[in-house]
Amino acid sequence: MNSSVVKSIVLHLGIGGFLYASANIHPPAPKVMEVTLNSAIPTPDKAVSAVTVDQKQVEQKIAELQKKEKDKKSAEDKRIRDLERRAANARKQRESESRHIKKLEQERKAKEKETAEAQAQAKKARAIEQKERAKAKQAEKQKQEAESAAKAAADKRKTEEDALKKAEAERKKREEEAKERAAEAERKRQQAMQEQMLQEQLAKEQAARSKIRQQQVVSEVDKYRALIMARIQQNLLIDEKMKNQQCRVNIRLGFNGLVTQVKSLGGDKLVCEAALRAVRMADTLPVSKDKDVFEQLKNINLTIKPEF
């Protein structure tokens, strides 16, 4: 039996003995209490019953403690079994990992061997390839030299041919340029003759048009001079003293015929006064809308003679 269980049993036995002794030892009660509380004093049968009950409680307590100890031991045994199982699993895991590592190491060594063999083969192949490249390079060099020599000969031949073609082309070009210059000179001569003839013709036409235009302008000027003179004669107040007399006047007109200024240039006094008065009475005089005609009418000199 576990020492802790023994200690618990001894402790509970001690408690039971103490309770039993306490049941048989009572302090002396006062006399008053003997009179009034006589029925409350326990009898020997009741004391034995109390001790019996306490003993059962002690045994029950001991049984509970034993059960707890057993449960605790079962739990501890279970914990130890779990630890042992986990340790066994860990050991199996380590063994599995060790086998795996060993396998990987074997694979690594096999791979290294394979790599070394492959490298050796590659090195051998590179050596062969370098030799082949050297041969190919030499052959390529010889080929390039041959091609260069052939190209140089072809270039020289082409240069000579190009020089001949260029000389021939330049000769033909000079001939063509000479022909073109001659043709251009002839064309310019013909063009100059045509332009001269055209200019002469245009000059003649222009002179004819100018003459016609001048005649038209003169005709229009004469027409409007007559109209202006007729307007002034309409407004002219005459007297017998003016017979065979005249006055010269200057009239300036606006673009619409408005008289902007009139003045006497000399003559009979009565005729001049009557002429100036007649022009002012007219206010506006007939003018042409033709610019060339108006230019000759806007500042006009007239000789006024009274008509009888």
Question: What's residue 52's pLDDT?
Answer: 54
DSSP string across 268-282: -HHHHHHHHHHHHHH
Which is higher by pLDDT, 49 or 201? Answer: 201
The alpha carbon of residue 222 and the mean position of all alpha carbons in its chain are separated, in whole angstroms, by 79
Q: Where are the domains of the chain?
A: 220-302
Q: Give the pLDDT band (50/70/90) at residue 32.
A: very low
SS (H, E, C) 147-197: HHHHHHHHHHHHHHHHHHHHHHHHHHHHHHHHHHHHHHHHHHHHHHHHHHH
- Judge whether 224 and 302 are in contact, CB under 8 Å: no
Q: What is the pLDDT of residues 105-122, one digit of tens each?
A: 888 888 888 888 888 888
Say whether pLDDT at 10 is over 70: no
Instruction: Find the radius of gyration of the CA atoms of the chain.
Output: 80
May I ask the CATH class of domain 220-302? Answer: alpha beta
How do beta strands 247-253 and 299-304 pair? antiparallel
Angle between helices 269-282 and 44-235 (to 10 degrees): 150
Q: Give the pLDDT band (50/70/90) at residue 74.
A: confident
Question: What's residue 39's pLDDT?
Answer: 37
Taking the whole predicted model, whether its pTM rises above 0.85 is answered as no
Say whether pLDDT at 172 is over 60: yes
Q: Is 271 exposed, middle or buried (0-12, 13-18, 19+ CB in 10 A)?
A: buried
- Host H or E run for residue 253: strand 247-253
Query: What count of other Cβ atoms lies within 10 Å of the Cβ of residue 229?
Result: 17
Nearest Cα residue to 158 out of 166, 147, 146, 170: 166
Averaged pLDDT for residues 9-24: 47
Nearest Cα residue to 105 out of 94, 117, 97, 93: 97
Which is higher by pLDDT, 46 or 129? Answer: 129
CA end-to-end distance (rounded Å), the chain: 188
Question: What's residue 20's pLDDT?
Answer: 44
Question: What's residue 304's pLDDT?
Answer: 94
Averaged pLDDT for residues 47-60: 67
Question: What's residue 97's pLDDT?
Answer: 85
Q: What is the pLDDT of residues 210-246, one digit of tens each?
A: 777 778 878 888 899 999 999 999 999 988 899 999 9
